[in-house]
Chain A
């Protein structure tokens, strides 16, 4: 058997090395059949819905108080109990809608940038504007960083590319998370994948830090490092993992770590090249909230 199209014959190859190469590649490829692959399915369209919280009758009074506070902002809020799965859901009439419009920009026929621009509508005006400013500010930081590095590239490099794709992990308590998957290609080198995350207090529209989400950042950092170490596999560089923290570093970000709260737990994503030699996939882990509370 030859390659996937199977329309050429080894006899078409004019010299022995071509024939040997074709035979070796075919033999190697044919070792893998469908049943050798791990079960998987095609990616599906995921509707970006906020997971509904489970109502709890005993907390109706708390929920009612939350409604009174949140109605002014026009934002759905979850309660402040210790467990997300116990949070009563309350609904207000004018929930804000966050819309990402994809913008494509070309710089001197040399680089193509595709990134989202967020707009918020439907909620309280002040909060809407702040949410949009925080989100677009983070995206602009990533875009600006790419622009800066374009100037450092070889002018003869192939077309360069930046693609930022937003993803909504959901809302946990009052925290709205948006994950930004970043694909960068600097031409003749190789593309790289990384992730950034923005966490916003949906009541105020302000960006929040780790200490506002978890009570003891240092302890949670240790849990995160152990979790990442397990997820990344045996090739992980323990010294590099030990430097990861949910607190921002000197550059004002937590890179190469991204973290965000979601209904199913606290998520961490790491740039795999920063911590492991041959980690398969993107090391990412999630710790359920009930485990974190223990």
Chain B
């Protein structure tokens, strides 16, 4: 159980009107809480430095444009930050972060799909005008085929073949069974092969 305490009018302005003046009786309690929060912030900083790039890459592979991927990842770190107190095992944070990025990417894709029911889509299904254009032709063809797969198949392939997760790891990240991962991977590879076949 966690608590967020919002004090209305707990602080009064000091003489220059900029810095809050705290009541002595609450200072010790608040400083103690702040020290714990600083510890949390250090842990999150480390997680951010070590995982931001790989999470952005994961999100790019799922949503296919960098600005959106960066937003998804930043939102994910915010959620991890909010849930930090509830993480009983800090080593679980990367997995929690990855799942949050996947969920954030799904949300983006869903909103795109919903919006396209009402708004004529821009010509953005192709990779954006970023570095994708300098990919080798073969890579572009594979990635274009990947984009045509159903969402879950695409997620499984990205996590298996870029994320290097085991079947069990993919199952945990996506909240599905290991058997489903196996069958989805098989179907996805078959579908991707079929999509690629005419181009060969």
Contact = CB atoms under 8 A, between A and B. Distances in A.
Nearest to B54: A4
A114 B49 CA distance: 29
A247 to B, nearest CB: 23
B110 A192 contact: yes
Contacts of B114: 273
A17 B193 contact: yes
A6 B57 CA distance: 14
Nearest to B83: A163
Interface in A1-29: 2-8, 13, 15, 17-18, 20-29
Contact of B60 (A5, A24, A28, A54): A28
A61 B22 CA distance: 25
Interface stretch (A165-173, A207-215, A258-266): A165-173
B17 A193 contact: no
Contacts of B189: 15, 17-18, 21
Interface in B93-133: 103-104, 106-107, 109-112, 114-116, 118-119, 121-122, 124, 130-132
B172 to A, nearest CB: 13
A18 B192 CA distance: 10
A37 B56 contact: yes
Contacts of A102: 1-4
B8 A3 contact: no
Nearest to B127: A28
A277 B122 contact: yes
A20 B44 CA distance: 35
Nearest to B38: A45
B70 A38 contact: yes
A235 B164 contact: no
A37 to B, nearest CB: 6
13 contacts: A21-B146, A25-B146, A29-B57, A29-B58, A32-B57, A45-B38, A49-B10, A98-B8, A101-B1, A183-B79, A190-B106, A272-B111, A278-B68
Interface of A: 2-8, 13, 15, 17-18, 20-29, 31-34, 36-38, 40-45, 47-50, 52-55, 75-76, 89, 91-92, 95-102, 116, 123, 158-159, 165-166, 168, 171, 176, 178, 183, 185, 189-193, 202, 235, 237, 240, 272-273, 276-278, 280-281
Given A29-B61, A31-B131, A32-B66, 11 more contacts: A25-B143, A29-B58, A31-B132, A41-B48, A45-B81, A49-B7, A50-B11, A55-B13, A97-B10, A116-B4, A202-B8
